[in-house]
Amino acid sequence: MSETTSREERLTVYADYVCPFCYLGRQSLEQYRESRENRVEIDWQPFDLRSDKRGPDGEIDHSVPDGKDEEYFEQARENVRRLQEEYGVEMAQEIATEVDSLPAQAASLYVKEAHPDRWEAFDGAIYAALWKEGRDIGDRDVLSELAEEVGLDPEAVLDAIDDEDLRERLDGRFAEARERGVTGVPTFAYEGYAARGAVPPEQLERLVEGT
């Protein structure tokens, strides 16, 4: 955090990389941040949208029902298309139901802890790889390439993905988010108040600045 940014100007963002609305919400957040003289810092907190489908080894069991039928996904696609136009964003795909974000979230947590100065670039690279380029961010080779692109040691990032202690910390973050009442993403939280969804920059401004 820069010296010109007060401690209070820190926005907590709960997100899952496979959520298209998290990507769109990130674009809205960037538009809001660019409008400010002092940038709001991001306190990223991971959230696992597929937690109810995960087996004991962390794998996704797609046969587990989650109540999301084709009508649900078509509505989601329509909302994604609407927000793409609203925020001026181009995307390679509207949903990514087959992509597992768990490896990317583990890698992101490692970077946030070990190389906080590189985290935002890595976070942006993950989002761009999935939503702008249509790449599988659950693929180790993809994550290795992204790490190298932003100046990180690819081997260290891959080792972190396999680290059991880090995975336990990640699971703890997931649990903590739910204990705090986060049930969907993106969720933007600031000083006891929250906004859920890919809300427009004006709403983020009201959340942070009360205007």
pLDDT by residue (tens digit) across 1-53? 334 344 458 999 999 999 999 999 999 999 999 999 888 999 999 999 999 99
Domain presence at residue 56:
yes
Domain presence at residue 1:
no
Domain presence at residue 4:
no
What six digits make up the tokens of 132? Answer: 């702008």
**CA distances (Å), 133 to each of 122, 172, 181, in order?**
15, 31, 33
**Closest C-alpha to 19, from 40, 41, 50:** 50
Domain presence at residue 5:
no
Write down the H helix ranges in 20-97: 20-34, 70-87
> What CATH number did the domain enclosing 33 receive?
3.40.30.10
Q: How many domains does the chain have?
A: 1
Give the range of the structural domain holding residue 159, as residue numbers without chain letter: 10-209
**CA distances (Å), 50 to each of 28, 56, 138, 179, in order?**
24, 13, 13, 17
Give this prediction's pTM.
0.93
Domain presence at residue 73:
yes
If you average pLDDT over every residue of the chain, what do you get?
94
- For the ranges 16-20, 22-26, 68-72, 111-115, the lowest mean pLDDT is seen at 68-72
Q: What average pLDDT does range 182-192 have in this prediction?
A: 96
